[in-house]
Amino acid sequence: MIERIERGIQYEQRNDSKTGAGGSGPGGDTDTPSDELWIMQLRVVAVSPIYTGENKIESQKLRKTGNRLPTRMSGDGFATVNISGLIRSYVEKIYKDENTCDIGKAPKGCGRCISCKMFGYLGRKGRISVDELKSELPFNKIVSVAVHPRIDRESGTIPQDRGASIEVEEIQEGAVLLGKILIRNPKDKDVEVLDAALKAIESGGVGGWTRRGKGRVSIAIDLKKLKWSSYKEIGKEDAKKLLGKE
């Protein structure tokens, strides 16, 4: 189950019940710049092993050995999982009845639907930024190698030749991954849409071989409501430390 915990800096809402946060008119469905910034902090726990694959060609060449398929690893040695595309694809499926774009079929986007306004479209940046999930512990602490034997289709048997099997690096059950989603010019609808997509991810899984039960996760959300102007005070406090004026 996704847990919703609302914390962070509290402030008086400037919009009435008919106006979404950061906008004007019904639902706040405008692109008027706002001082508000919402951050959805994600804590994702692997319920079953996760295999994501390595999408960087150079890293694949360096890390692939024999039949072993590497999973993604950050430059500082942590396992990572990219969910930005997955979130958008689920939004497009869930809100299809609201004429949401399918960028798989129409990459340019319409510029008018929920998906385009939140995530952007060709020539326009979206209001939503989704970080890669990053493991709480180093890569070598939570990733292990699993052997998946290939079955001979004609005989239905598993070949004895070791070369016939695939070795896969998998993020193990119980591993914790952290990430965040930034919402600029936020609207109440954004949280609803993103929450729906994250629930779908819990059901459908992340990474490869999800039809075999891989990639199952549970997700907890911590929503923080900030103002861009809040960083003035943060900057002042940090500057005191850096300048040794405490």
Q: Which two tokens stand for residue 212?
A: 């075999």
Q: Which two tokens stand for residue 46?
A: 């692997």
Burial class (CB in 10 A: 0-12, 13-18, 19+), 147: exposed
Quote the pLDDT of residue 66.
60
Q: What residue ranges of the chain have pLDDT lower than 70?
A: 1-32, 54-66, 68, 149-164, 246
Closest by alpha carbon to 70, among 78, 79, 60?
60
Quote the pLDDT of residue 148.
72
In three-state secondary structure terms, 224 is strand
At 227, phi and psi to the nearest 5? -120, 145
pTM strictly above 0.85: no
Alpha carbons 122 and 116: distance in angstroms, whole number: 9
Alpha carbons 201 and 195: distance in angstroms, whole number: 10
Alpha carbons 168 and 151: distance in angstroms, whole number: 16
Alpha carbons 58 and 75: distance in angstroms, whole number: 13
Backbone torsion region of residue 218, taken as left when φ is above 0, otherwise alpha when ψ lies between -120 and 50, otherwise beta: beta
Buried b (16+ CB within 10 A) or exposed e, 48-86: bbbbbebeeeeeeeeeeeeeebbbbbeeeebbbbbbeeb
Quote the pLDDT of residue 141.
96
Alpha carbons 142 and 52: distance in angstroms, whole number: 14
Q: Distance of CA 57 to CAs 60, 65, 79, 141, 160, Å?
A: 5, 14, 17, 24, 31
